[in-house]
Amino acid sequence: MSNTSVTASAVADAHGADAVRPGASKGITMLGLEKKYGSTAVVRSIDLDIRPGEFMTFLGPSGSGKTTTLNMIAGFTSSTSGRLEIDGRSVANVPPHKRDIGMVFQSYALFPHMSVSANIEFPLRRRRIPKAKRASMVHDALEMVRMTEYKDRLPSELSGGQQQRIALARALVYQPQVLLMDEPLGALDKKLRDWLQSEIKRIHQEVGSTFVYVTHDQEEALSLSDRIAVFNNGIIEQVGTGEELYERPQTLFVGTFLGESTVFRGTVASREGDRVEVQSGSARLRARGTVPGDEVAILVRPENLQLLPASPERSAPSTGDGVAVTVLSATYLGSAWRHTVRLPDGSTGLVRGPRSSESLEAGDPAWLEWNTADAVLLPAD
């Protein structure tokens, strides 16, 4: 039997037939969920279904509403309107400690005077689980986060990454069906963050609980999540897998927030079915898609662009898949070069290419081209 199964069995013995068991995750449903402070709406009309056992990430800039939404799920913040359900039941009048939710914060929130074991044991004592079972469950939780040898240490004797693993063990020791995490790795260095991301992903796969994770880090969201909800100004702009959001963004905000991009803004010059020609500065560009309005944007990812030295045969006005640009900067990244270029409409774009383009330097005229299939047509802001 796995460590997580032993832990869950111990909780089931202590709580009876209705206790949490592996795989018994709860789904979360938000219908028209809103939060206002006075007349200011910080979360507006959130409609979202989080599937049982899913790893859902709330991604967005500071002030976008993602943490407020997480706090409404936890019960720390009450909603102004709308409906919030966990496992198909409204939790409007259910206090936080009765929602069967674990919580991990960026600040760790460990008790400094308690040992590692005592910190993990604390939620079990609150639930009045018998002492013998508590010891077994704490041991299993420590094994889950690979921290057994640190059980007698104080939090002050641990590194930041070790403290975060203990905070994760404490949140999971009683096998909650939902685990909420608010920027849990934000205070750690990149190497440690990357390692802990893999640990969190492993633990999620083992315990089977529903994880809801808040971050502003795009790479973190992409590496961890089953699906991502992109927040902006209190609304969810798009929900999807990392691949869907990156390859097929539905709004310009999603396209530019998730990963780097080069954006050509312009006016629709002609439409024929789903074929569109866009006038962007001095260039005429082509794209496929249907979006309302005449002001549009064409988004192309930097890795899908090719930057070539200017030559007479490439200097003619563009008919769709290429434009004349000026190199503004060239940065060596080891395996590739990153160029910033001046686009025909006067804005700047990014190009990430192989080392073969290293001969291009700041001030050089160049030719930028791409495959029309890699261009995403979007409504302008």
pLDDT of residue 23: 43
DSSP state of 318: P
pLDDT of residue 354: 74
pLDDT of residue 320: 52
Beta strands 101-105 and 28-37 are unpaired
What torsion, rounded to 10 degrees, do the Cα atoms 290, 291, 297, 303 define? -50
User: In tens digits, what is the pLDDT along the chain, a chain of 381 residues?
Assistant: 333 333 333 333 333 333 333 446 799 999 999 999 999 999 999 999 999 999 999 999 999 999 999 999 999 999 999 999 999 999 999 999 899 899 998 888 899 999 999 999 999 998 899 988 999 999 999 998 999 999 999 999 999 889 999 999 999 998 899 999 999 988 788 888 898 899 999 999 989 999 999 999 999 999 999 999 999 999 999 999 999 999 999 999 999 999 999 999 999 999 988 899 999 988 889 998 888 888 999 999 999 999 988 887 665 544 458 899 999 999 988 878 899 999 988 999 999 987 555 578 899 999 999 999 999 999 998
The neighbour count for residue 375, using CB atoms within 10 Å, is 24
Please, are residues 330 and 337 in contact by the beta-carbon 8 Å criterion? yes
Q: Which helix (H) or strand (E) holds 323?
A: strand 322-332
Please report, for the chain, the start and end positions of each structural domain, with discontinuous segments joined by +.
3-247, 260-379
pLDDT of residue 2: 37
Nearest CA to 193 among 220, 172, 168? 220
pLDDT of residue 88: 93
131-144 helix and 160-172 helix, angle to the nearest 10 degrees: 130
**Residue 341 structure tokens:** 């270029």
Sign, CA dihedral 135-141-143-148, equals: negative
Distance in angstroms (rounded) separating the CA atoms of residues 171 and 4: 13
Cβ contacts of 368 within 8 Å, gap of 6 or more:
305, 306, 307, 308, 322, 323, 324, 325, 341, 343, 349, 351
Distance in angstroms (rounded) separating the CA atoms of residues 214 and 179: 11
**In CATH, what number does 260-379 get?**
2.40.50.100
- 202 vs 66, 177, 231, CA distance in Å? 24, 16, 26
Beta strands 210-215 and 178-182 are parallel
pTM of the model: 0.86
Sign, CA dihedral 201-205-207-213, equals: positive
pLDDT of residue 15: 35
**Sequence letter at residue 82:** G
**Residue 220 structure tokens:** 């973190």
Topology classification of domain 3-247: Rossmann fold (3.40.50)
In 76-219 the beta strands, taken as DSSP E runs, fall at 81-86, 89-90, 101-105, 178-182, 210-215
pLDDT of residue 14: 34
